Structure 1
Amino acid sequence: MATFDARQMQSLTGLQATARTFLMVGFTVVETVALGLWLALVQGAPVISRPAAIGLGVLTVGLVVEHVLTDATVNGLSFSFPLARIVGISVSEALLWAVWLGIADRLGGVDGILVAGAVLSVLLVPQHSVEDNILRGEAPLSNVVNLNTIGFSLVEGIGATVWLLLVFEGQQFAGLLATLGFGGVDPAAVGLAALGIFLLVEHDIGVTLARQG
């Protein structure tokens, strides 16, 4: 009987792990698509304009969905998730992405994108620290700089940099893309796919951190 119960427990644990993986892939796709739509809407538009406002709204909604699914992945399906806090961190993250793009546009070129990526990586540390607090059910500002978030914040910043380099400076990487077998593919599409991979890695690390303790 004990062996049977152990097998049941192992089976249940396996199903839960599979469900978490599907949820994580799902909200990674949601965030990647939301970021892609946002950039398509705001690219070339003035900071204060209707396209910029619509783009920021689309991105915020996508991030709300992503954070709700993240909470479900970490804490299980429930109707008790902190919606107000999730909306708050979604708005703040959308603004971080807007700042990132603004810096890249302002400075221009590859150097501008690299500087923007570095700034985004730094700003994501407190952003991810607050998100981790919320996922753990703690006060949002209980730990504003969690050093454990530095690694996956850097992963996201690198992914964002690769994406924007291929969107804005894709012609400079045509030879590299051809070598990798993407010669006939739009560099922007390759960049967005690369961003999705980096986000999946970032989410995997973040979810593992939030489930600890």
Structure 2
Amino acid sequence: MRRPRLLDLFSCAGGAAMGYYQAGFEVIGVDITEQPRYPFEHHVGDALEFVADQGYEFDAIHASPPCQTYANVTAWRGNQKDHPDLLAPTRDALIATGLPWVIENVPEAPLRPDLLLCGSMFGLNVRRHRAFETSWHAFQLTSPCYHHPGLLPFEHKGERAYAHAMGCTWMTNVEGRQAVPPAYTQHIGQELLALLTTSEEAAA
């Protein structure tokens, strides 16, 4: 059977992409910079221009626009205003496609948090909260977020261990800083795949 095609915008090194692949999608990534360790087909270019020109070729879209504008860590170490705010333009671009879509960002971002996920919900030994807004208003997991004493927080001195614990073993330490754990998008991808299947059956 043909895998549905998912466009992965602002892809970075492919943490989100791997989860969607594991859920059953063919994934194609786009990022403004070269991503030599991205595990699937990848294009270098402006994400919003790409979706405007070629978004219609896909079955669904995931986008992880830069989070530095909203991330607390940016305020601690720099100026949030020094970073582009692409969240609203990304949402508008995805809505314009008419396709099912997902936007991921930090919990501080102005997203509708249909899903607020943590590594502890998936048995991962990491504390990493990410918010997801979806076109279909996905349902929040019922499993609790449990920060047990041994759970790894993100620390630069432990980047390698943190990337491995997220399931991003192919990434460099630096790439792991921005990664979405594949378990998050595998969960979302399974729900998205069911949505697409239902839509196809209804159209048949």
State TM-score, norm by structure 1: 0.35
Question: Normalized per residue, which structure has more strand?
Answer: 2
Question: Normalized per residue, which structure has more helix?
Answer: 1
Larger radius of gyration: 1
